[in-house]
Amino acid sequence: MGYQNLPFREDSVFLVTGGAGFIGSNICERLLSMGHTVRCLDDLSTGKRENVDMFADNPSYTFIKGDITDIETCKAACEGVDFVLNQAAWGSVPRSIEMPVYYERVNIGGTLNMMEAAKTQGVKRFVYASSSSVYGDSAELPKREGREGDLLSPYALTKRVCEEYGKLYFKLYGLETYGLRYFNVFGKRQDPEGVYAAVIPKFIKQLLRGETPVIYGDGKQSRDFTYVENVVEANLKACLAPKEAAGQSFNIAYGGRESLVDIYRSISKALGIDGVEPTFEPTRKGDIRHSNADIAKAREMLGYEPEYDFDKGLELAINWYKENL
């Protein structure tokens, strides 16, 4: 695979915040496989030690249990770091509607602390997780950078504010920031448990355990489901992108569109389960109807080229859950 040849200096040091979470742990794994030094900063609030335990014996890996809402922790973690890949945040649109103050503190306050720490410690690049939720109520498809609508949740607001800080930190202080708007990521180690779990791992878990999955709305709502390895790739490409792309945000997705009913059927079929019908419940607040990304900007400016289409990603994810649930 091409990524082994990416032109990073061998002694590059990466800090992955939220590294014990779903996406963060996949980033850590890839970087370690490339032989780089990786620091993982995570407070284990939604992440899990078991997501990173397998790296513990690797001398290039350090785990820091810490909270990004504490600026001193952020500064200490950034010391000697070349690239920050900031993934730490609280996810879930519905949960953010229940606890907006908490989201403000962690997602905005924490990311601002990390940018400030990166600036103070002379970090080369700051790549951070944004979200497709910044498109809000815009019905335009595909979603294009610069064509955002009104926001629908506190979660989306936190991501938009982080993007504004990203722009400012580049303009004012020269910190090279790159915002990556992930679209419905899925893959190994995504948490299938709890009311706020994402739909793909939840369906897989429920079908494997003989439970009846719930679909909110009519199931015809659609998303650009993106396999996690594509997101890892985007993070690496952003670290190497030309400086002209700094201070901006980019759609990171595959560029396809699947409805919930379609993915339910695909998962049932792949698991060889027949005749289990989902239960339908009312649409949840803050949910958007359709989402599908135009990834031309990331392609052009970051050299992002997603390798895994939905079917390939789903096959890999299902195989992983079969072995690990």
Ligand X SMILES: NC(=O)c1ccc[n+]([C@@H]2O[C@H](COP(=O)([O-])OP(=O)(O)OC[C@H]3O[C@@H](n4cnc5c(N)ncnc54)[C@H](O)[C@@H]3O)[C@@H](O)[C@H]2O)c1
Annotated catalytic residues are 155
Give the shortest CB-66-to-ligand X separation in angstroms. Answer: 6
Stretch that binds ligand X, among 40-48, 204-212, 288-296, 306-314 (CB under 6 A): 40-48
Interface with ligand X, residue 230, by CB under 6 A: no
Quick one: 210 or 249, whose CB is closer to ligand X? 249
Per DSSP, what are the bridge partners of residue 13? 37
> Least separation, in Å, of the C-beta of 163 and ligand X?
12
Residue 182 is a binding residue for ligand X (CB under 6 A):
yes
Say whether residue 222 binds ligand X (CB under 6 A): no
21 binding ligand X? (CB under 6 A)? yes
Q: Which amino acid is at 138?
A: S
Q: Which of 232, 191, 239, 304 is nearest to 32 (CA)?
A: 232
Closest C-alpha among 138, 134, 220 to residue 182: 134
Name which of residues 94 to 123 contact ligand X (CB under 6 A).
106, 110
Q: Which stretch, 5-13, 36-44, 118-126, 300-308, contacts ligand X (CB under 6 A)?
A: 36-44
Angle among Cα 46, 50, 52 to the nearest 5 degrees reads 90
Q: Which stretch binds ligand X (CB under 6 A): 27-35, 66-74, 113-121, 144-152?
A: 66-74
Tell which residue, 162, 225, 233, 234, has the closest CA to residue 198: 225
Question: In this complex, which beta carbon is closest to ligand X, that of residue 23 or of residue 295?
Answer: 23
Question: Which contacts (CB < 8 Å, 24+ apart) does range 258-261 have?
Answer: 258/222, 258/223, 258/225, 258/310, 259/219, 259/220, 259/221, 259/222, 260/199, 260/215, 260/217, 260/219, 260/220, 260/221, 260/222, 260/223, 261/215, 261/219, 261/220
Interface with ligand X includes 69 (CB under 6 A)?
A: yes
Which residues of the shown chain bind ligand X in the complex (CB under 6 A)? 17-18, 20-24, 42-47, 67-69, 87-91, 106, 110, 129, 131, 182, 184-185, 198
